[in-house]
Amino acid sequence: MLPLLVIAVAIAALVALVAVAKVHPFLAFVIVSAGAALAFGMPAAEIAGAIRKGIGDVFGSLAIVIVTGAMLGKLVVESGAAQRIADTLVAACGEKHMAWAMALTGFIVGIPLFYGVGFVLLVPIIIAVVSRSRQPLLVVAMPALASMSVAHGLLPPHPAPTALVATFHANLGLTLLYGFAIAIPALVIAGPVFGRLLGGIRADPLPGLAATPRPEHELPSTFVSITTALLPALLLGLTAVAGGVVPAGTSAATVLKVASDPDVVMVASLLVAAVTLGLARGRSLPAVMSTFSGAIGDVGSILLVIAGSGAFKEVLVKSGVSAEIGRVLEGLPVDPLLLAWIVTAAIRVCVGSATVAGLTAAGILAPVVASGGVDPNLMVLAIGSGSLVCSHVNDSAFWMFKEYFNVSLGDTLRSWTVMETIVSVVGLAGVLVLARLV
């Protein structure tokens, strides 16, 4: 019981440092990891090495995917591809089905973009759509934001799902396919369906957010915009399907293994985007590279948080506590996937950050996956779902929603917090159903 008590204290300390003292999560992870290592009885001379190894292992496995994903997202925004996607979907669906159009827009845009970038991108598009359709703001906005939340919590190449795939040695392509299966009902219920109930909530966004759309002739084509934005997801999905058909041990299987590597997929997708959304549209190579350089600043802090979580995980492994926890958790009369959701949800409510909650839970639950008693792909999605529950005042996204749309605190809880919780609960239900089918 002592190791579990130490972990509980460590998580409480992490919460206090991040949520109360406002310490950067990377530094908080390092401090808490060192303190936990001492409490577990690790020799002092080994602690620094364990922390370095944990940070290095996580950073090395994810740096290419996350950085190239950020670069792709930045180019999708600056090229006008995201605006083209939104305009095309709205025109195709018409005013009566605007909520469904915005749900699909948020999903397509949300797959390659990090949440904060996607949120800022969609706000002026949402406001422009509302001004044309004269529908209540949140009825239009919530479907798009719910779709982005689903992508953020469940789908690679977003940081937390990608990090969880690496931690549990899951199959990125299968996780993506399962994630799509769960994402669709989650975004439908939390988006267009729940959004219908929000028409009476007053929202008065600042006038300056109603950005002027780019001229038609400056936008890339619909085909190029959608294909380029979704290329990583398409390639990962295709290679995952092909992997079940190509015979093992053949030269084709070897080629497929290389082609399905997430780093290869993301670099290839980025090179294609540099041509289709950059060079082919008259931008110089230095201009495209300038866009890519700007994207690095967007994800620098995220990379540090993820790397810091590796320190905590390595301390648990190096001290032997991880294996001991695994034996304890395996003996509990609770479905491991449900247990993962509960643990992650508890951390999420305390810490606020979905990424921190997911990565912290991963360190605790890794031995359960290592024992072979649960599908690692579904464990990624169970934790991802738990990381979205009950967003409230300690979550930066909560305040982004409140301030950008100028909604009262109470109405933000009624709309945003409930939406995030619906996504989380429906995601858990989808995971449990898939667990019975696969």
> To the nearest whole number, what is the mean pLDDT of the chain?
84
| Token pair recorded at residue 330 | 């395996």
Number of domain units in the chain: 1
CA-closest candidate to residue 105, choices 161, 159, 148: 148
Residues 6+ apart with CB under 8 A from 208: none
> CA 221, 227, 229: angle at the middle one, nearest 5?
100
Q: Does 124 have pLDDT greater than 70?
A: no
108 pLDDT higher than 90:
no
d(CA 246, CA 322): 37
The per-residue DSSP string of 175-210 comes to HHHHHHHHHHHHHHIIIIIHHGGGTTS-----GGGS
Per residue in 167-207, pLDDT tens?
Answer: 898 988 899 899 999 999 999 999 999 999 998 898 877 55
Q: What is the pLDDT of residue 311?
A: 87
With a cut of 70, say whether residue 137 has pLDDT above it. yes
Q: Which residue has the tokens 């957010």?
A: 209
**Is the predicted pLDDT of residue 243 greater than 90, yes or no?**
no
Residues 123 and 209 sit within 8 Å (Cβ to Cβ): yes
Q: How far apart are CA 383 and CA 380, in angstroms?
A: 5
Percent of the chain topping pLDDT 90: 31
* pLDDT (0 to 100) of residue 128: 67
Residue 417 has pLDDT above 70, yes or no: yes
Contacts of 111 (CB under 8 A, 6+ apart): 151, 155, 229, 230, 232, 233
Distance CA 392, CA 377 (A): 28
Q: Is the pLDDT of residue 353 over 80?
A: no
| Residue scoring higher pLDDT (309 or 21) | 21
Q: Round to whole Å and give the CA distance between 211 and 207.
A: 9
Of the candidates 237, 87, 219, the one whose C-alpha atom is nearest the C-alpha of residue 176 is 237
| Amino acid 365: pLDDT | 85
pLDDT at 120 over 70: no
Domain holding 47, by residue range, is 2-437
Residue 93's pLDDT band, with cuts at 50, 70 and 90, is confident
pTM: 0.71
**Average pLDDT, integer, range 368-388:** 90
* CA terminus-to-terminus distance, the chain: 35
**pLDDT confidence of residue 261:** 83
